[in-house]
A = this chain, B = another copy of it.
Amino acid sequence: MKNYIKHDEWHIIEEGFDPHLNRISESLFSLGNGRMGQRANFEEEYSGDTHQGSYVAGVYYPDKTRVGWWKNGYPEYFAKVLNAPTWIGIHIKIGKLSLDLAKCKVKDFRRVLDMKHGLLHRSFIATFSDGKKVQVDAKRFCSMADGEVGAIRYSLIPINFSATVTFTLGIDADVVNKDSNYDEKFWERVSEESKKGMAIVTAQTKKTFFQVSTGMTYSITSGGKPAKGAVKSSMREKYADNTITLKLKKGEETVISKYGAILSSENHPKAKMNAIIRRKLQHTLTTGFDKLLADHSAVWSHTWQECDISIEGDIAAQQGIRFNIFQLMQTYTGKDERLNIGPKGFTGEKYGGSTYWDTEAYCLPFYLGTSNPKVARNLLVYRYKHLPRAIENAGKLGFTQGAALYPMVTMNGEECHNEWEITFEEIHRNGAIAFAIFDYIRYTGDEDYLVEHGLEVLIGIARFWAQRVNWSADKQKYVMLGVTGPNEYENNSNNNWYSNTFAAWTLGYAQQALEYVKKRNSSRYDKIVAKVKFDEVEETSKWKEIRNKMYFPEDKQRGIFLQQDGFLDKELLTVDKLRPEDRPLNQKWSWDRILRSCFIKQADVLQGIYFFEEQFDLPTIKRNFDFYEPMTVHESSLSPCVHVILASRLGYKEKAYEMYLRTSRLDLDDYNNDTEDGCHITSMAGTWMSVVKGFGGMRVSDGKLTFSPYIPDQWKAYSFRLEFRGRVIKVKISKAKTETLLEFGEPMEIIMNGRPVRLEKQGSAL
């Protein structure tokens, strides 16, 4: 855990330059706009420790799988997000010396992420080894108004000298992935072009043949006037630049406005990309930095209006939640149904930037609550489009007749992961994908989604569960063997309560969906049945039989559900007995020790209770929470938010607040010692849920929003907004009262603390 980020309501602030923290800051101060993004690498050269990262949404590479011991069913390739060509470089040389913060003395270093306006701002005074001092002020953004454009305003003032200075403004496509399995470079050259005032590099990925054109243009002023200097344009393979030589006067400010454009062949015909990027670059130059920034900030302003959460009286908590929302909104805008949300967004390479179950279980509720329903719907459609691949995937494992197993990790629907205990066993992901359909419809009321896409997905998943269980003659029940639940500190366990619960639920929900579609649109129903060769009588009776005879492990004496068979054979210890030097367990203990211990990465049973809360009475929830929470180490970023929500429900305010801080400041305070790899983007949605579903007690029941809010002792007030069925409502909770305002849309009824309340346009105080 670290503590170097200054607390502020709207800004992430680093003061003073500590090279040891640089990788962490590069993650935290990342920028993105849904289409592209980048780590907060420096514009100038930097020979110190850095993790360079620039990413283009949807552009991936199928890297040859690396595995110790091959198992049948493993994928040949691990699709991973590519470190893409970068346009930010502004390399500065004075004589033989480069401006390089690893080699200069650095003073007054300040890096600020202005979340309100989506702007990265960095300033410092650097002293070269020969005593020359420069003052630098650099601003950068990736435009939310035009996802293919970014801009930098880079100001440099010679403090104590006049000299000739060269500025090299480059485009570099000769980049590598740190996580390349066999140290391979993934990009091949297509073309380079450099002329005065402009450079464009087009590169293509091996195997997948994505083309990306990256270009830059710029303007320079010195002392407020257009700067005049020699310009040399140069190129080499996968690289192009302009080098501008200027005579700078002591005390006079030189400002470089550099504009970048990135085009992907996913969005443009390859043949036309060159023409389009030229126009785009020309347009940015004409528009100028200030106007581009104003357009960009206007989008952020609108976004914050829709989804800000304000917290009064606790700046750390306020900063935490805004940081989470900011990063989520930078990562996924919901405009493109081919895209999804990688666990690290545009902040790092780890986990391959691919789609995980995080999307359905965590991100979906966030986008449902904060955005137009189309955004969430696009996330569902993404999986619908991958259904044929999910069926293939199940086929590779030996399942038949249209059973669908969605991949654990994917870019294009194919499974990428290659660790048997996860790839083959962490099948609960299938449950989350089915549940997302239910969750989406529960929130939006869009039952037609079942007709269009939902039913097919549900049939595929239900068929999988029906084949994945087997009849235990011993137990006289259906059992599910060889499973890894969300608690990845157990592997290959039998009768994981969470997975069994999801299987049974899906079989029931698929049945309901069938009945709904049949009644609502019988011709569509007939079409689907024919398409997927559905044997209604036989399959649904099998589903019913399994639901009725499913085995759910439990400890009757304690009145709890058992995480899996045999859990009570473990030595049942609690986390407070662990020595601090043993934490986090996944960095300190052998895998063997972790597996045998009772300690839980992320509590399966509680996660299941969170999803299916209405099935359980409060004493049951309490007994399970009291049993599992003390064993949970929360070494998954996805863990704490669920505990906030359940603890809130149970009135465990302190526990809820402790968990809230952990989730909301996970990256800012580097709780798990891994922020340098990138931020935990998907779990950030959990932070939002912590406030809205946890403290705010928001649920949807019978098509109505319900709330049972309370306020943590540490706060004075907090408020959040929700998009709900064409309305925007704002809920503000203070120590004294709860206010609910209908900011947009038709009057509606909500349930507040169990009582129906009608909201009229002007809002109503409770």
A contact residues vs B (CB 8 Å cutoff) = 65-69, 71-73, 182, 396-398, 418-421, 424-425, 470-475, 479, 481-482, 491-495, 565-566, 568-572, 586-593, 595-596
Distance in angstroms from A333 CB to nearest chain B CB is: 31
New A-B contacts (19) at CB < 8 Å, excluding given A69-B419, A471-B571, A565-B565: A68-B418, A72-B591, A73-B591, A73-B592, A398-B589, A421-B491, A424-B590, A424-B591, A472-B569, A473-B572, A479-B569, A481-B566, A481-B595, A482-B592, A482-B595, A482-B596, A492-B493, A492-B595, A494-B566
Contact B420 A592 (CB under 8 A): yes
- Give the residues in chain B near A570, CB-CB below 8 Å: 470, 472, 481
Chain B residue at minimal CB-CB distance from A592: B424
**How many Å lie between the Cα of A590 and that of B472 in the bound state?**
22
Residues of B within 8 A of A472 (CB): 568-570
B68 touching A419, Cβ below 8 Å: yes
- A397 contacts which chain B residues (CB < 8 A)? 590, 592-593
State the CA gap A590–B69 with chains docked (Å): 14
Contacts known (A589-B398, A590-B73, A595-B492); A569 close to B66, Cβ less than 8 A: no
Write the nearest CB–CB distance from A29 to chain B, whole angstroms: 28
Report how many copies the assembly holds. Answer: 2
Q: Are A566 and B565 in contact (CB under 8 A)?
A: yes
A479 contact set on B, CB distance < 8 A: 569
Among A73, A421, A482, A586, which residue has the most Cβ atoms of chain B within 10 A? A482
Known interface pairs A68-B66, A591-B73; A569-B494 also in contact (CB < 8 Å): yes
A640 to B491 CA separation, bound complex (whole angstroms): 30
Set of chain B residues within 8 Å of A425, measured between Cβ atoms = 592
Measured CB to CB, the closest approach of chain B to A556, in angstroms, equals: 12
State the Cβ distance, A143 to closest chain B Cβ, in Å.
37
Which chain B residue shows the least CB distance to A398?
Answer: B593
Q: Is the CB of B398 within 8 A of A592?
A: yes
Question: Which of A182, A479, A591 has most chain B Cβ within 10 Å?
Answer: A591
List the B side residues contacting A589 at CB < 8 Å: 72, 398
What are 11 A-B pairs at a CB distance below 8 A?
A66-B66, A66-B68, A71-B591, A72-B590, A397-B590, A398-B590, A420-B595, A470-B596, A481-B596, A482-B596, A494-B566
Q: Report how far A595 CA is from B423 CA in the complex, Å.
A: 13
Q: What residues on B are CB-neighbors of A595 within 8 Å?
A: 420, 424, 481-482, 492
| A593 to B423 alpha-carbon distance, docked (Å) | 13
With contact pairs A67-B67, A482-B595, A566-B566 given, residues A586 and B72 touching in the complex (Cβ less than 8 Å): yes
Q: How far is the CA of A473 from the CA of B570 in the complex (A)?
A: 8
Q: In the complex, what residue of chain B is closest to A494 when comparing beta carbons?
A: B566
